[in-house]
Amino acid sequence: MNSKDRILSDLRAQQLPAAGLPSLAQAWTRYEDPSAQFISLVESVGGRVVRLPSRGDLPAALAEVPAFVAAQQIVSGVAEIVGNVDLARVDDPHALEMVDFAVFPGEFAVAENGAVWVTDERVPHRAIYFITQHLALVVPADQMVHNLHEAYARIALGTSSLGVFISGPSKTADIEQSLVIGAHGPRSLTVFLVG
């Protein structure tokens, strides 16, 4: 008998009491002003939120972001911003090591925890979200859910090889519980809430 059959037959030989699944349709917390909740949560985890009336304001808003202004290599996944590194022309994600700034669309935001949902569906190298020195995500302001239950209800998990909730920049507190921003991944996260 191979290990799989052995494990499964051992498990099936055990009689456990029947237990049902709970319904997750419950009265979970909703916020009076989800955008305000989202903004305060992102700021509490070391990120920044900039509200923009329209996507057309993106270039001007980014021109105010010092990390973007100083960036040598820029990757852009949004139409309004022109990058100088084209992901589609990069064969090996290792080449992205020198990227200073990346700006991508986020599908939606979660008020409860300041997270933004992104996937690698239209992104040739998922490494870009993590290897860039600085990251900006552009999220339509009306794409805001109150809590994670609502978030999972709208995600079709499995349609892309990576889906990730990003909440703030990369961080660590592994040295004496002192918070350090910029552990391995982006040193900063800017979320543009549009509309």
Partner 1 sequence: MNHAPLAAEFVKDRPRAEWHDATLWFVRAKRDKAAQSLPEWETLRDCAAQIKAHTQYRLADYLEQFEREATKRGAVVHWARDAAEHNKIVLGLLRNRGVTKLVKSKSMLTEECHLNPYLERNGIEVVDTDLGERIVQLAGEPPSHIVLPAIHKKKEDVGAIFHKFLGTDEGATDPNYLAEAARAHLRAKFVAADAGLTGVNFAIAETGGLVVCTNEGNADLGVSLPKLHIASMGIEKLIPRAEDLGVFIRLLARSATGQPITAYTSHFHGPRPGGELHIVLVDNGRTNIRANEDFRRSLNCIRCGACMNTCPVYRRSGGHSYETSVPGPIGSILAPAGDPAKFYSLPQACSLCGSCTDVCPVKIDLHHQLLTWRGELGRKGLISWPKRLGMKLGSFMFRHPAVYRTVGAAARKLTPWLPRALVYNRFNTWGRQRELPEFPAESFRQQFERRSREQ
Task: Choose, by CB under 8 A, the member of 78, 168, 190, 191 that binds partner 1.
Answer: 168
Task: Choose, by CB under 8 A, the member of 94, 121, 142, 195 that binds partner 1.
Answer: 94
Would you say 172 and 46 are in contact if contact means Cβ atoms under 8 Å apart?
no
How many Å apart are CA 119 and CA 106, to the nearest integer? 8
Residue 168: how many CB atoms within 10 A of its CB? 22
Site string for partner 1, 53-82 (x = CB under 8 A): ------------------------------
Q: How far is the CB of 118 from partner 1 (least distance, A)?
A: 10
Of the ranges 55-63, 74-82, 92-100, 101-109, which one interacts with partner 1 (CB under 8 A)? 92-100
Per CB under 8 A, contacts with partner 1 among 104-123 are 110, 112-115, 120
Interacting residues of 173 by C-beta distance below 8 A, sequence separation 6+: 179, 180
Would you say 171 and 182 are in contact if contact means Cβ atoms under 8 Å apart?
yes
Site membership for partner 1, residue 161 (CB under 8 A)? yes
- Comparing CB distances to partner 1, the nearer of 80 and 185 is 185
Task: Identify which of 133, 68, 137, 56 has the alpha carbon closest to the alpha carbon of residue 98.
Answer: 133
Of the ranges 53-61, 66-74, 80-88, 89-97, which one interacts with partner 1 (CB under 8 A)? 89-97
Task: Choose, by CB under 8 A, the member of 61, 75, 131, 136 that binds partner 1.
Answer: 131
How many Å apart are CA 97 and CA 84, to the nearest integer? 14
Site membership for partner 1, residue 36 (CB under 8 A)? no
Task: Choose, by CB under 8 A, the member of 32, 53, 66, 178 that binds partner 1.
Answer: 178
Site membership for partner 1, residue 31 (CB under 8 A)? no
Task: Choose, by CB under 8 A, the member of 64, 97, 121, 142 that binds partner 1.
Answer: 97
Interacting residues of 167 by C-beta distance below 8 A, sequence separation 6+: 41, 42, 45, 47, 113, 114, 115, 116
Would you say 153 and 119 are in contact if contact means Cβ atoms under 8 Å apart?
no
Task: Choose, by CB under 8 A, the member of 28, 64, 84, 142 that binds partner 1.
Answer: 28
Which phi and psi angles does 189 have, rounded to 5°? -130, 125
Quote the tokens at residue 45. 């985890």
